[in-house]
Amino acid sequence: YGDRGLPGRRDEYRRYTNLNALGKNDFELANGGPAVDVPPLPHRAVAELASYRIVFVNGRLRPDLCVLDDMPDGVLIAGLGDMIAAAPERLQPVLGQNLDLHDMPLAALNTAFMRDGMVLFVDGGVNVDKPVHLVSITVPGATPMMLQPRHLVVLGDGAKATLIESHIGGSDSPYFNNLVSELTLGDGAELNHYIFQEEGPAAVHISATALDLGASATYDGFLLQSGGLIGRVETRAVLNGSDSDCRLDGIYLGTGDQVLDTTTYVEHVAAGCRSRQVYKGVLDGKARGVFQGKIHVRPDAQQTDGHQLSRALLLSPRAEIDTRPELEIYADDVKCSHGATAGELDSEALFYLMSRGIPADTARRMLIEAFVGEALSEIRLSPVAEDFSAHVRNWLNANINIETPV
């Protein structure tokens, strides 16, 4: 990080998101611990779901808020800080192995300052009987703070798990959450992964996930992003084993001056693998969305099936979307596609609903909910689908200012 500094306009995969806002504050490394009071959290169906819950406040593990009883044999859920102190030999073979720090300067910054995070190890053949719920709560103090959490997930051959992440901001004060996750799936492993990014309105949330898939492994990820002044979620998936599946779906909801960036890089290394990406955005006010998606197919990755699609709905003439779908293919026997669309509400559909006596505001909300509902219908875990759907409805009620003429 010292050699490269913050990514700028010349950085190919970060040029659309200006991070100069980070230079406007002197961020201090966050202090977490039992002395930090946690505000009441919004009601969530996921909170009532039977799960193994691991909680971090200001980037540090809070054992008093965790629920990790009666874990099955072959499952380890712990804090990274505790693991570094007690069992560093278990971390050494996997920590940092999925990262290209030269090409990921903010991941390098995280590596320099990481203190804590979640460690999830699942032995081969073990099916984790309940979802793992990672809750990250930020409660800013008197001065702007930065968090540098590192999460590590390793599933052995044939292991299965569901991981839910909730990133919640506790105030309107500025802070910087620079999150790095490393996920390694062994042969035949399966991970369902749901991420809810609901940081505070002045926060900068930068997330980098490095994902490695073995043969016949399956990763199914879904992101709902609506928080922060700047929210950038980057996923790099490498399909190293044949016949693996990687699915990356998501919704982003932006208003005001928000910038919400979704960047993906999917590398097909082995033959017979499949990847699918579908992201939908709703942007109001002067919000700006970014979607950059690249599928890279290496010469040995014959019979690759890779697709990506970005669709954005602009509710205001001042809202913007930057899209850059990309294919880089070095194999002959492949099926790959990409596409991107952006537009306003369908005026004919709106007119049709209003002609049936539906009020204009209700008709608009119906069209927006239908637009994102197609993506939400893909979520397999019903409490997550319920929470995400409720959040979309609440966001529409609180934020939208539709200026599309009828």
Whole-angstrom Cα distance, residue 193 to residue 165? Answer: 8
pTM: 0.93
- Residue indicated by tokens 């399966």: 190
3-state secondary structure (DSSP) of residue 96: coil
What's the rounded mean pLDDT across residues 246-265? 97
Report if residue 206 sits inside a domain: yes
Say which DSSP state 20 is in. G
In this predicted structure, the answer to whether residue 114 has a pLDDT above a threshold of 60 is yes
Query: Cα–chain-centroid distance for residue 166?
Result: 10
Residue 289: which domain range? 20-346
- Residue indicated by tokens 């703070």: 145
Whole-angstrom Cα distance, residue 55 to residue 272? Answer: 38
Report if residue 270 sits inside a domain: yes
Do 254 and 281 contact (CB within 8 A), yes or no? Answer: yes
Percent of all residues in the chain with a pLDDT value above 70, rounded to a whole number: 93
Report if residue 363 sits inside a domain: no
Do 186 and 158 contact (CB within 8 A), yes or no? Answer: yes
In this predicted structure, the answer to whether residue 266 has a pLDDT above a threshold of 90 is yes
Report if residue 2 sits inside a domain: no
Report if residue 274 sits inside a domain: yes
pLDDT of residue 85: 95
Report if residue 361 sits inside a domain: no
Number of compact structural domains in the chain = 1
In this predicted structure, the answer to whether residue 2 has a pLDDT above a threshold of 70 is no
Closest CA to 231 of 165, 291, 191, 183: 291
Report if residue 15 sits inside a domain: no
Report if residue 380 sits inside a domain: no
pLDDT band with cut points at 50, 70 and 90 for residue 360: confident
3-state secondary structure (DSSP) of residue 371: helix
What's the rounded mean pLDDT across residues 261-285? 97
pLDDT band with cut points at 50, 70 and 90 for residue 403: very low
Q: What is the DSSP string of 247-287?
A: EEEEEEEE-TT-EEEEEEEEEE-STT-EEEEEEEEEE-TT-
Whole-angstrom Cα distance, residue 186 to residue 212? Answer: 8
- Average pLDDT over the chain, rounded to whole? 91
C-alpha to C-alpha distances, 246 to 68, 198, 221, 228, 241, nearest whole angstrom: 29, 24, 8, 27, 11
Whole-angstrom Cα distance, residue 173 to residue 289? Answer: 23
Q: In sequence order, which residues have a C-beta less than 8 Å from that of residue 167 and are 6 or more positions away? A: 136, 138, 177, 179, 195, 196, 197, 198, 199, 205, 227
The tokens for 104 are 């990921």
